[in-house]
A and B are shown apart, each in its own frame.
Chain A
Amino acid sequence: MLRVLLEKEFLQFLRNPFLPRMALIFPVMVMLVFPWVTTMDVRHIGVAVVDNDRTETSRRLISKIGASDYYTLQEVTDDFAGALDALESGAADVVLEIPDGFEEGLSSDNPKKASISANGVNATKGSLGTQYLQQTLMATLAELQAERGAAPAPETIVVQNRYNPTLEYRNYMIPALMIMLLITLGGFLPALNLVNEKETGTIEQINVTPVSRLSFTLAKLILYWIIGFVVLTLALLLAWTVYGLVPVGAAGAIYLASMLFVLVMSGFGVIVANYSSTILQAIFVMFFFVMIFILMSGLLTPIASMPSWAQCITYFLPPRYFIEIMRAVYLKGATLRDLWYDYAALALFAAVFNTAAALTYRKQV
């Protein structure tokens, strides 16, 4: 019986004028476009420099700022009020003011202080801009000192970024984007498919046959499980060919986690569909949960920086475990043994959701 139901689901999926194309375009689009735009690397910070010093030091500083990709040098002036106007109009994100006698003060006991004013509206740009400028300032001063023969100040900190050595934000986001892909496709497609059968009335004809609830549900789950497999493979290939990013850990570990996760999401989608009588209702409910999944399970922001009550909630969100696995395997090369806890959690969710999916499907009401 399962065989004929599977045949039906596959034929219907492939014949749909829209769904097969969407299942291909969606991952391609997500993998080709989003890694470039969902970046938290702050670049091109607008800087206005108020140079009241006009010495070699200040000129060197300005040329450094102008040469760096991190900044866009908006203006160099000697008018602080004008620079603040640039800040207010949004042309500049930070204003660096180099006071008169800055160079001279460096070798005295009472150095003049450079000041940085940042626009706090875009908090990330403002605070990162301030930090970057401080670093540039220190580095430039050290460089100049070295050129003059003075012993450089000893380096006291060495930073090394393990696992993502270039701190490339894209490498951090690509596994996350794959997860979003599976959350959306794996959850929405089965829910919509099932509610569509309710709306067209075909499910009533099925309900009056002796078909078992499990076979009917399973046929749908298997279809979307296979689609999830295809979509993931496509995404992995794109990450490799376009960004040169290959998982450090075993591909098998990624597939196992993804296949468990698609099962979790499809089971969840079927439960939502069982309680929805219209597509509109199903979409709305799915959207509500998908938003929680995306914003609360550590996909975009670290769980550790959430308030503790929110951290408790994340234990009930299946993507949390999947995200841990994906990032650890992709970037650190973690193995199944390191992450058994997360795999077990996903397997548990898959079992609970799919049992509930078969049970909440009622043939007789």
Chain B
Amino acid sequence: MESEPIIRVRELSKRFGDFTAVDRITFDVARGEIFGFLGANGAGKTTAMRMLCGLSYPTSGSGTVAGFDIAREGELIKRHIGYMSQRFSLYDDLTVMENIRLYGGIYGLSRREILRRTAALLERLDFRAERHTRVGRLPLGWKQKLSFSVATLHRPQVVFLDEPTGGVDPVTRRQFWELIYEAAAEGTTLFVTTHYMDEAEYCSRVSIMVDGQIRALGAPAELKRHYGARTMDEVFRMLAREAKRTE
């Protein structure tokens, strides 16, 4: 079963009234991949991602995540995925420990297991001194790293990251990607949207969305060769220029 794609999307669309946010997209993501989901603002990335996470129903088309149907089995998908959105969404008025305990408890981890994983997590992030600090007082970069660690606390098969490094300094961005690589090395699949084309280079494969459709799909090296570009940035610019939609 290892060869079965962990995410499988066929002709997936989402329409709001007469606006088609996501227009018949089709792709697969293999287990253990770091899949970069690129596109300009308003291209439909977040909408597509929300359908995969069971937050939004598809208008048409189909998809499975971790073997469960995105339209009918949203709640089952949620047991097997982690999600971190562009808006920081841990509880600001709870401490680092309390947030971890809350999400650990929600995923049904035992108290002992939560303590064990928390210790490891704090160690890895070098957060021990801050464990009783309210999350709202942490700098943004720290929050994002914490948020990622909480999203992976229950060892999900897939983690969805929606612009995880937006507004974060280059050093922290680098550290953040180290966390992503560590997770990938442990066999987790990562599905990442980003606007930073240097980050796109780190992905195993990327797709580029323009006006709700996927215009390019492949490994960064392949895409660069195909479009005769030196960097992913050039590839992105060539495709994004065709966009008719404005934000």
**Are A and B subunits of one complex?**
yes
Q: For A210, what are the chain B residues with a Cβ–Cβ distance below 8 Å?
A: 75, 78-79, 106-108
Q: A4 and B101: CB pair below 8 A?
A: yes
Chain B: residues with Cβ within 8 Å of the partner, total of: 29
Q: B106 and A5: CB pair below 8 A?
A: yes
Q: B105 and A208: CB pair below 8 A?
A: no
Q: Is A363 an interface residue (CB 8 A)?
A: yes
Q: B83 and A12: CB pair below 8 A?
A: no
Q: Is A16 an interface residue (CB 8 A)?
A: yes
Q: For B102, what are the chain A residues with a Cβ–Cβ distance below 8 Å?
A: 4-5, 7-8
Cα A204 to Cα B89 in complex, Å, equals 8
Contact mask for chain B residues 89-112; partner A; CB cutoff 8 A; 1 contact, 0 none: 111111000100111111110000
Q: For A4, what are the chain B residues with a Cβ–Cβ distance below 8 Å?
A: 101-102, 104-106
Q: Is B185 an interface residue (CB 8 A)?
A: no
Contact mask for chain B residues 49-91; partner A; CB cutoff 8 A; 1 contact, 0 none: 0000111110000000000000000110011010101011111
Q: In the complex, how many angstroms separate the beta carbon of A194 from the nearest chain B beta carbon? A: 14
With A8-B94, A363-B54, A363-B55 as contacts: A205 and B108 at CB distance below 8 Å: no
Q: A209 and B89: CB pair below 8 A?
A: no
Contact mask for chain B residues 140-170; partner A; CB cutoff 8 A; 1 contact, 0 none: 0000000000000000000000000000000
Q: A208 and B55: CB pair below 8 A?
A: yes
With A4-B106, A209-B106, A209-B107 as contacts: A202 and B90 at CB distance below 8 Å: yes
Contact mask for chain A residues 7-28; partner B; CB cutoff 8 A; 1 contact, 0 none: 1100110011000000000000
With A5-B106, A204-B87, A363-B54 as contacts: A209 and B93 at CB distance below 8 Å: no
Q: Interface residue tally of chain A, by bracket?
A: 20 to 34
Q: For A363, what are the chain B residues with a Cβ–Cβ distance below 8 Å?
A: 54-55, 74-75
Interface-centre pick from A1, A8, A205, A206 (highest chain B CB count, 10 A): A205
Q: B98 and A364: CB pair below 8 A?
A: no
Main secondary structure of the interface of B (DSSP, over half): loop
With A204-B85, A364-B74, A365-B57 as contacts: A211 and B106 at CB distance below 8 Å: yes
Cα A201 to Cα B36 in complex, Å, equals 24
Q: Is A207 an interface residue (CB 8 A)?
A: yes
Q: For A3, what are the chain B residues with a Cβ–Cβ distance below 8 Å?
A: 105
Q: In the complex, how many angstroms separate the beta carbon of B86 from the nearest chain A beta carbon? A: 9
Q: For B83, what are the chain A residues with a Cβ–Cβ distance below 8 Å?
A: 205, 208
Q: Which residue of B lies closest to A8 (CB)?
A: B102
Q: For A11, what are the chain B residues with a Cβ–Cβ distance below 8 Å?
A: 93-94, 98
Cα A180 to Cα B74 in complex, Å, equals 41
Q: A364 and B54: CB pair below 8 A?
A: yes
Cα A26 to Cα B128 in complex, Å, equals 41
Task: Please list the residues of chain B having a beta carbon within 8 angstroms of any beta carbon in chain A.
Answer: 53-57, 74-75, 78-79, 81, 83, 85, 87-94, 98, 101-108
Task: Please list the residues of chain A having a beta carbon within 8 angstroms of any beta carbon in chain B.
Answer: 1, 3-5, 7-8, 11-12, 15-16, 200-202, 204-211, 363-365
Would you list 27 pairs from A and B whose C-beta atoms are within 8 A, ordered by A residue?
A: A1-B105, A4-B102, A4-B105, A4-B106, A5-B106, A8-B94, A8-B102, A15-B93, A15-B94, A201-B85, A201-B88, A204-B55, A204-B89, A205-B90, A206-B106, A208-B54, A208-B78, A209-B107, A210-B75, A210-B78, A210-B79, A210-B106, A210-B107, A210-B108, A364-B56, A365-B55, A365-B57
